[in-house]
Structure 1
Amino acid sequence: MKDNVSREGALARSIRVTRLLLTPAQKRKAIMVMLLSIVSSVLEVFGLATLVPIVVVCAEPGGVFKNKYFRTIYDAFHFQSEQSFLITILLGVIAFFILKTVFTSWVNYVQAQFTGQTGYDVIKSQLTKFSGLTFWNFNELGSGKLINSSLNVPNSFLYNLLRPMVAMASESVIAFSIVVGLVVYNPILILLLVVVLVPPMALTYRVVRSRVQGVQSRINDLWPISIGFVNDLFTGFVELKLARRQQKFVGGVLRAQGEVYELDAKNFVYSMFPQKVIELAAVAGVVIIMLYSIVTHKGSSGLVALVGLFAAAAYRLMPSLNRILTSMVTIKGNQHLLDEIESHQGDDSQEQVHPVQEPLKFERDLVLDNLTFSFPNESYRALNGIDITIKKKEKIGFIGSSGSGKTTLMNVLLRFYTEQQGKVLVDGVPLGPQNIDAWHQLIGYVKQDTFLMQASIRDNITLGEDNPNEQRLLYAIEQASLKTFVDSLPEGMHTFIGERGSKLSGGQRQRIGIARALYKQTQVLILDEATSALDNETEREVNEAINNLSQIDLTILIVAHRLTTLRECDRVYELSSGQLVAEHQYEDLLNRIK
């Protein structure tokens, strides 16, 4: 990425990526914001320009009559004295500055709204991008990296790239206008000022930019580490507390954040450096004016005019130069944000979404035809030539040692992985991107650690659906053998279940997972080690709930280590090293282990 930045330039690349992020409507609004910024900048310069001649005429008695423009205004409005004229002019200047301040404040508000909306759209874009990752890439990145890229990166993009670019554009118009005015008024003076100001500004940018870039890049690397430690610290609260290992994770967070704050302190110093350099250059500018006046033998009035001009220009020019330089350094130092935004765009890390989704029915059978699958960058086959036909309403078991391919096979069925050879057929129709939505509506999944939100039983079953179907909800609760439990609660299905279902037993958590699948009218239910973490009594209760499902129009696939879970299966397939090695009946398996 660094080569791309050096070839393209930090500012050019930032503009290009920002343009890609904007919709046509936003691009039109960006043009409007830029035009308003130009008008605001022109008003700033005009206000500044009015001060210079007023300072000159006020500093010299009779100055109004010596200036042809002021004299014309004086005569046109029939003023009776120079004093009344100057008072009127000064009051007019105050009124102008009040109106200018109101207008520029409104423009700043419009700019902030525009940049804020764009920052919001970047968050939306990042969330859409990462929620569309393939299952493999999702696992490769990890939650810490994903949370940082979805929240911190867009926020930093707003404050460290987008707003500095807007500020740089506005301040450049102001600086350019002032410089043009100075060139017209006194070309030699502006030449001397350029000689004094430009070299230190260029040197400052060259020295600071690489340091800021290194600091910001390291901070971006540290945030996912911190988020990962915090996530583990609170997710594993019980286990870590019992093992007295919480301090290890607290220490991990503090080490990462300690380095973040050290780097942030350095970054603060670097951000202040341009201002100090420009202030030093300002003092040098005053000295140059003095020397210029002495060398050219200008009188006191000429010196006053030059100093007044420089003071008026410095009042607005120097802050502009400081903001321009600071913005340039900030933009250069945060190019890693563009790396994050441009990553995983239009490559193999994204699921391929078919533009037209076709309907899909499951009325006869589910066929796994010569399925073969290998993980990325791996030569061995995690699945090799799997052939299975499953009739509707059958209950099928899968056994095998760890690493035999059971969960991989389930992930292929769930379409989290895509086979390299063979196909999955539903009533003879191959599963592919064109019917993935319909298939996901038909299939449900309950794993060992059921996902539970910090919400009510109702919201966990419906996954937060705003207007759930009450009849389906009650049916799902009853079929998952949850009705007695829910009826015993004072708040019923509105009962809050705590962090990750901490107020529920293991069996109750698993039955909520089953109810969730039933609520969405699943026709194929995968239970992947759904009872492996339960004690014998709780396993028996969950198995009874699973067995009750046989009475409804549901095809069930069970992955299990415990044979008791497979008691009601029509048949059991055994996998080893990614291959289907045997087909069993439950009684045969019992006899084999006796």
Structure 2
Amino acid sequence: MIKKIYKLLSERQQKRSVAVMFMVLLRALLDFAGVAALIPVLLAILEPDGSREKMLTLCCIILLFVMLKNGLVILLARMQSRFLLDIYRDFSRRMFVNYYRRGLLFLKGTSSLQLGHEVNYVCYTFSLCVLAPVFRIVSDLVLVLLMISALVIWEPIAGLLLCAAFLPLAGGYVGLVRKHLRRYGTEELEARRKQLRTVVEAFRGFAELEVAHAFFTTISFFDQGIESITRNRLRMEICQLFPLFLSEIAIVCGLALLIGAGREDLGLMSSVFAVAAFRLLPAIRSILNNWGTLQNASYTLEIVAEGIADIPQKEMETEFPFTFRQGIELCGVSFAFPDGHILFRDLNLNIKRGECVGIRGTSGSGKSTLFNLMLGFLEPISGEIRIDGKRLTVNNREEWYKVAGYVPQEIFVTEGTLATNIALGQVQVDYKKVMNALEQAQLKEWAEHLPQGLDTPLGEFGSRLSGGQKQRIGIARALYKQAEILFFDEATSALDHRTEQEINHALQELSHQRHELTIVIIAHRESSLAFCDRIFDLDSGNIYTKEK
């Protein structure tokens, strides 16, 4: 496991981990010195004619040493914690970026709740419940070895009796609970995932659940999840109590063995044994508890390793900004899903700048997939997509997005203000441009009557907006970035007839006002394609020219 963890770290983190390990060893040495410092006081107390002043002086010196030692220990612990939190920050960010960059097919095929849980909770658990226990185990293990070695050197019988008392019980604990702890951790992870999904789905589907009287099934799933989490947590707590019981049993057994050895200096040996046990008891308990925590969270190792693994990138070639003066051309484009299902073959289409082109087809014919190809979200298995004669690839698609706008059926709305949603992703919002974009999308009058104007919050997922307002915000967002080509993916299919007509009218006005603007529309309804110059039928591959 240690090798696997070490391989996950970057070269810089590996170097830092070595430095942190030295800090861990230094902490163990300081803890050992703190225990060893008590021996002179103990010996002074056991002397028949010991001087009280001498003992008080020793206590003052040791007190000063312990305070300095603990101050240094706190400093080292803070540096170790900083390293662990830096690992969490780096791994969580890398996993987030990697998941995002794996593209549309990956994100559509994986639960967003699961991905969010792994990016946040799993990375945090890995850092604080896998890495941190490793360092604590090493520190406590070194302390135990130092103390037992010193005890064996100074008094072999007492040291060996201590080992005879502790080692069998610790070995039995490890062998007994190892597999159980891993299983409890995996089961709790799955239960927490399901619990998160249950809660989020219930809040999102409030209206449907109420009408269908289905909330009782949701609360049933919720209760089952709580029960599973509670059951596994209780099992874990019980396993963590065993080290306390075992260490106390070991102390009693050790004292019994010491008494049974029949030493004449039993008082001194018992005192030394008690001082050693005073620090060994929590150290061994800490080793066993941290080992249990490590086993319980070991499931995170595979998830983190898979999540932060960098996907091999194709060799980047020097790319220049896209221009859109001529048009977009699909040349013999074919596409198939990873399961081998071929959606279409040898597709050819030429869309000239300034045209308004509609795309229609039956459900499942690949209309949205065609848009995803033209936007560069997907790559064709054969053929090419060219913009002004320049081939569109995954590597250069970001340049294409500078001139393209996309309005899907479900508009993405952040939990921010109207202005920040229009200027999506922009650090500085140009309010004049926002208002101009809203005016072109026929939302200016509505925006002016909002309580806080452009700074009015839109609610979670745009909960305060109607369907038509969301679509217009999507249009305004594309216009804000001054896109030269707009893609509408069934943007009006979920709207009522009147709102659909209003949106279509707004698009028609845009087309008249900006003759150079290219519009590509996917729609089921013929009415949504009425103002298009041409209509491409994906089922037949034919193109129909219409009069404006």
TM superposition score normalised by structure 2: 0.95
The equivalent residue for 1:584 is: 544
Q: How far 1:84 moved relative to its partner? A: 1.6
- Report whether the alignment pairs 1:16 with 2:17: no
The equivalent residue for 1:36 is: 23
Distance in 1, matches of 2:385 and 2:30, equals: 68
CA separation of 1:500 and 1:60: change in aligned 2, threshold 3 A: same
Q: How far 1:364 moved relative to its partner? A: 0.4
Give the alignment partner of residue 200 of structure 1, picking from 149, 169, 178.
169
CA separation of 1:148 and 1:395: change in aligned 2, threshold 3 A: same
CA separation of 1:399 and 1:234: change in aligned 2, threshold 3 A: same
Q: How far 1:105 moved relative to its partner? A: 2.1
Distance in 2, matches of 1:289 and 1:356, equals: 78
CA separation of 1:434 and 1:136: change in aligned 2, threshold 3 A: closer
Q: How far 1:271 moved relative to its partner? A: 1.8
CA separation of 1:253 and 1:585: change in aligned 2, threshold 3 A: farther
CA separation of 1:98 and 1:327: change in aligned 2, threshold 3 A: same
Distance in 1, matches of 2:200 and 2:315, equals: 31
> Residue type matched to 1:438 in 2?
E
Give the alignment partner of residue 330 of structure 1, picking from 268, 293, 296.
293
Give the alignment partner of residue 372 of structure 1, picking from 294, 313, 334.
334
Equivalent residues of 1:558, 1:566 under 8 A apart? yes
Does the residue aligned with 2:147 lie in a helix, a strand or coil? helix
The equivalent residue for 1:467 is: 428
Q: How far 1:565 moved relative to its partner? A: 0.7
- Percent of pairs identical after alignment? 29
Task: Tell me the number of residue pairs that the alignment of Structure 1 and Structure 2 aligns.
Answer: 546
The equivalent residue for 1:535 is: 496
> Residue type matched to 1:322 in 2?
R
Does the residue aligned with 1:207 lie in a helix, a strand or coil? helix
Equivalent residues of 2:472, 2:503 under 8 A apart? yes
The superposition leaves residues 251-272 of structure 1 with CA deviations (integer Å, 9 ceiling, x where unpaired) of: 3233223211111111111122
Structure 1 segments unaligned to the other structure (5+ residues): 1-9, 64-81, 589-594
The superposition leaves residues 70-108 of structure 1 with CA deviations (integer Å, 9 ceiling, x where unpaired) of: xxxxxxxxxxxx222222112211222222222222222
Equivalent residues of 2:35, 2:276 under 8 A apart? yes
Distance in 2, matches of 1:559 and 1:83, equals: 95
The equivalent residue for 1:343 is: 306
Give the alignment partner of residue 487 of structure 2, picking from 526, 539, 547.
526
Does the residue aligned with 1:363 lie in a helix, a strand or coil? coil
Equivalent residues of 2:98, 2:310 under 8 A apart? no
1:353-364 matched pairs, under 5 angstroms: 354=316, 357-364=319-326
Give the alignment partner of residue 354 of structure 2, picking from 372, 388, 393.
393
Give the alignment partner of residue 466 of structure 2, picking from 502, 505, 520.
505
> Residue type matched to 2:325 in 1?
E
- Report whether the alignment pairs 1:321 with 2:280: no
Equivalent residues of 2:533, 2:547 under 8 A apart? no
The equivalent residue for 1:186 is: 155
Q: How far 1:355 moved relative to its partner? A: 7.2
Q: How far 1:329 moved relative to its partner? A: 2.7
Structure 2 segments unaligned to the other structure (5+ residues): none
Give the alignment partner of residue 440 of structure 1, picking from 401, 405, 418.
401
Equivalent residues of 1:11, 1:332 under 8 A apart? no
CA separation of 1:352 and 1:345: change in aligned 2, threshold 3 A: farther
Does the residue aligned with 2:486 lie in a helix, a strand or coil? strand
Does the residue aligned with 1:343 lie in a helix, a strand or coil? helix
CA separation of 1:354 and 1:345: change in aligned 2, threshold 3 A: farther
Does the residue aligned with 2:357 lie in a helix, a strand or coil? strand
Does the residue aligned with 1:534 lie in a helix, a strand or coil? coil
> Residue type matched to 2:287 in 1?
I
> Residue type matched to 1:278 in 2?
S
User: Once structures 1 and 2 are overlaid, which stretch shifts more, 109-118 or 130-139?
Assistant: 109-118
The equivalent residue for 1:3 is: none
Distance in 2, matches of 1:352 and 1:247, equals: 50
Q: How far 1:29 moved relative to its partner? A: 3.8
CA separation of 1:586 and 1:277: change in aligned 2, threshold 3 A: farther
Distance in 2, matches of 1:208 and 1:14, equals: 22
The equivalent residue for 1:45 is: 32
The equivalent residue for 1:6 is: none
1:82-481 matched pairs, under 5 angstroms: 82-292=51-261, 294=262, 298-299=263-264, 302-346=265-309, 354=316, 357-378=319-340, 380-463=341-424, 465-481=426-442
The superposition leaves residues 169-221 of structure 1 with CA deviations (integer Å, 9 ceiling, x where unpaired) of: 22122112112211211223322322222122112111111101001011112
Q: How far 1:36 moved relative to its partner? A: 2.9
> Residue type matched to 1:437 in 2?
E
Q: How far 1:413 moved relative to its partner? A: 1.2
CA separation of 1:83 and 1:96: change in aligned 2, threshold 3 A: same
CA separation of 1:115 and 1:344: change in aligned 2, threshold 3 A: closer
CA separation of 1:247 and 1:30: change in aligned 2, threshold 3 A: same
The equivalent residue for 2:48 is: 61
Does the residue aligned with 2:464 lie in a helix, a strand or coil? coil
Equivalent residues of 2:358, 2:534 under 8 A apart? yes
TM superposition score normalised by structure 1: 0.87
Give the alignment partner of residue 523 of structure 2, picking from 523, 536, 560.
560
Runs of at least 4 residues off by over 6 Å: none
RMSD: 2.1
CA separation of 1:457 and 1:159: change in aligned 2, threshold 3 A: same
> Residue type matched to 1:387 in 2?
N
